[in-house]
Structure 1
Amino acid sequence: MSVWLPTATCRPETCLADASPEVSHPRRALRLTACLAAVLAGVVLILPVRLFPYRVRIRLVRFWARVVLRALGVSVHLTGAYGTGDGTSDGAGGGVLVVANHVSWLDIPLLAAGRPGRSLAKTEVRQWPVLGPLIAWCGTVFLDRDRLRTLPDTVAAVAEVLRSGQPVIVFPEGSTWCGRESGRFRPALFQAAVEAGADVQPVRIRYRLSDGRPTSVPAFIGDDGLLTSLARVVAARGLVADVTFLPTVPAPGPQPARAGARRELARRAQAAIEGIR
């Protein structure tokens, strides 16, 4: 494993110990069945959906993501300027680097429910059952976190997508955290926004129960398995995701050689998400 690979200090045995209300086993089975049906429908329809105009595709992706989340029993509250990035929500916002804190695999459909875009994901995601091929077919840019020499190529690929006018979704912490703690935003991928002259939109993701208590139930951390995490999510009663699309951080303009620009973008984006002024 690469020495530069970001590693979270969160562990299932310490961060997932919160007691939370659960639904019955029949309800869990129903949620799993509904989720599988929605995901399979996405796999079947992804090729014909690509034939639709961009705005229609975005609306369909947003609808599909909300169906998947609803099937899992997750209530979603979207606030802020999502969609075009100017307060409307028709999804035609163009090349913006969308960056968020990272808690769970649920973060991906949550962002798609508000502002769909091309995602950056670790190469291991390709191997996930059912979801892996779907994520790849959606035009995901993959990052091999164990091979540092591939990073410049990944940055260039993200910059090219931004120049084409499409949003790109990135989780700059480089690893998932439980939600109580967070990691430092790594500046490397912000270089793509610098090179493309693209704005950065910070997004804050928080999970709670319906009574308002914060919860780490959705956290996907340490050696936690995808199926184990999925079982924990479908068992939860009253799981709510609050997703806040914050004001964009303006692009500094194309300056490929200026390392300070990407660090400043990373710092400002993280400060916005953490509510630091």
Structure 2
Amino acid sequence: MSTWLPASPCTPPGCATHDGPARHPLPAAALLLAGCALALTGALCTPIALLLGRDHRERLTRAWAYGVVRAFGVRVRVVGRPDAHRGGPGVLVVANHVSWLDIPLIAAVCPGRILAKSDIRHWPLLGPLAALGGTLFVERERLRALPATVYAIASALRSGARVVVFPEDSTWCGRGPGGRFRPAAFQAAIDAGAAVQPVRVRYFGAAARRRAAAGAAAFVGDDPLAASLWRVVRAAGLTAEIHVMEPIPASTVHGRRALAGLAQSTVASDRANLPAESVHH
């Protein structure tokens, strides 16, 4: 891995743990099967969905993505709503990154073309389907590939697409301040004259169990996906919250670093109200 890539201090033993209320293994296994089946069904239906118009496709995507999150036993809370598309450049959606759950959660509210690491393109079945669905791929280990990625994002925005980016470039457990927003994708918004839509993702359980719930959803470090899936379906009362902030016109901020910093501070603006429990202060 290149030394310039961001690294999160979060680890599975320290952050991705759950000691709150737990489901019995049998209903948890049923949720796991239901969630995986619905996720795979949606992926396989991608070629059919592409035949629909944008509005119908977005409504179908929202319904499917919401269903996936609920099928895994996670409640959904939405605060705010994205602006309706009125033509012209698209919107760059930027969010903090806690879990694999972030992807269907955001798609349930702000469906768009996701920026993903290039490795996914080579996954059996899901890789070709992701490419067919408009996923934008980035070679994170190759710094020289970055200008091409920025150009691809800007082109998608100019065409009116919504592009979803996790600018921390790594998952963080949701406790503490999180990672710095990398500025590259924000240059694409500036080039395209697009707006930036900050989105905050958080995971909660019962009020007394906030720390445990956040750990159940966290997918960090070298945590195996199977272990994370099982942890989520076993965690009773897990709630995913997505907060859609006011969009920031890229033209009102001078430079990509300032724009990235403003988006980052907007997403993190009320984290001071959360419990300051963290293993990596």
1:77 equivalent in alignment to 2:73: no
Aligned to 2:188: 192
Please report how far the alpha carbon of residue 18 of structure 1 lies from its aligned counterpart in structure 2 after TM superposition. 4.3
1:179 equivalent in alignment to 2:174: yes
Q: CA RMSD in A?
A: 2.1
Aligned to 1:224: 223
Q: Please say if residues 203 and 238 of structure 2, whose CA atoms lie closer than 8 Å, have aligned partners that are also in contact.
A: yes
Q: Please say if residues 84 and 93 of structure 1, whose CA atoms lie closer than 8 Å, have aligned partners that are also in contact.
A: no
Counterparts of 1:173 and 1:185 in 2: how far apart (Å)? 5
Aligned to 2:238: 239
Q: Please say if residues 199 and 267 of structure 2, whose CA atoms lie closer than 8 Å, have aligned partners that are also in contact.
A: yes
Aligned to 2:109: 114
Aligned to 2:267: 273
Structure 2 gap segments, 5+ residues each = 271-281
Over 3 Å counting, the alpha-carbon distance change for 1:237 and 1:135 in structure 2 is farther
Aligned to 2:275: none
Q: Deviations over 1:189-221 (max 9, x none)?
A: 110001000000100011011446322211111
1:207 equivalent in alignment to 2:206: no
Structure 1 stretch displaced more, 206-215 or 94-103: 206-215
**Structure 1 length as normaliser, TM-score?**
0.90
Q: Please say if residues 196 and 249 of structure 2, whose CA atoms lie closer than 8 Å, have aligned partners that are also in contact.
A: yes
Q: What SS does the corresponding residue of 1:183 show, helix, strand or coil?
A: coil
Please report how far the alpha carbon of residue 136 of structure 1 lies from its aligned counterpart in structure 2 after TM superposition. 3.1
Match of 2:131 among 112, 127, 136: 136
Aligned to 2:279: none
Aligned to 2:30: 30
Match of 2:153 among 153, 158, 174: 158
Over 3 Å counting, the alpha-carbon distance change for 1:238 and 1:129 in structure 2 is farther
Counterparts of 2:57 and 2:114 in 1: how far apart (Å)? 16
Over 3 Å counting, the alpha-carbon distance change for 1:69 and 1:225 in structure 2 is same
Counterparts of 1:94 and 1:122 in 2: how far apart (Å)? 24
Q: What SS does the corresponding residue of 1:213 show, helix, strand or coil?
A: helix
**Structure 2 length as normaliser, TM-score?**
0.89
Q: Please say if residues 89 and 194 of structure 2, whose CA atoms lie closer than 8 Å, have aligned partners that are also in contact.
A: no
Please report how far the alpha carbon of residue 43 of structure 1 lies from its aligned counterpart in structure 2 after TM superposition. 2.6
Q: What SS does the corresponding residue of 1:114 show, helix, strand or coil?
A: coil
Counterparts of 2:144 and 2:202 in 1: how far apart (Å)? 33
Counterparts of 2:127 and 2:235 in 1: how far apart (Å)? 24
Q: Please say if residues 154 and 192 of structure 2, whose CA atoms lie closer than 8 Å, have aligned partners that are also in contact.
A: yes
Q: Deviations over 1:4-62 (max 9, x none)?
A: 11100111111124412111111112112211221232133211111111100000000
Please report how far the alpha carbon of residue 125 of structure 1 lies from its aligned counterpart in structure 2 after TM superposition. 3.0
Q: List aligned pairs for 1:39-58, cutoff 5 A.
A: 39-58=39-58
Partner amino acid for 1:261? G
1:248 equivalent in alignment to 2:252: no
Counterparts of 1:190 and 1:136 in 2: how far apart (Å)? 22
Q: Deviations over 1:226-248 (max 9, x none)?
A: 11111111111111011000001
Q: Deviations over 1:90-143 (max 9, x none)?
A: xx8960000000001110101000010000011233455665444333211011
Over 3 Å counting, the alpha-carbon distance change for 1:151 and 1:37 in structure 2 is same
Counterparts of 1:131 and 1:236 in 2: how far apart (Å)? 27
Over 3 Å counting, the alpha-carbon distance change for 1:19 and 1:76 in structure 2 is same
Aligned to 2:277: none
Alignment size in residue pairs: 266
Partner amino acid for 1:77? R
Percent of pairs identical after alignment?
Answer: 50
Partner amino acid for 1:175? S
Counterparts of 2:249 and 2:83 in 1: how far apart (Å)? 17
1:262 equivalent in alignment to 2:248: no
Counterparts of 1:240 and 1:93 in 2: how far apart (Å)? 35
Q: Please say if residues 83 and 93 of structure 1, whose CA atoms lie closer than 8 Å, have aligned partners that are also in contact.
A: no
Counterparts of 1:50 and 1:201 in 2: how far apart (Å)? 24
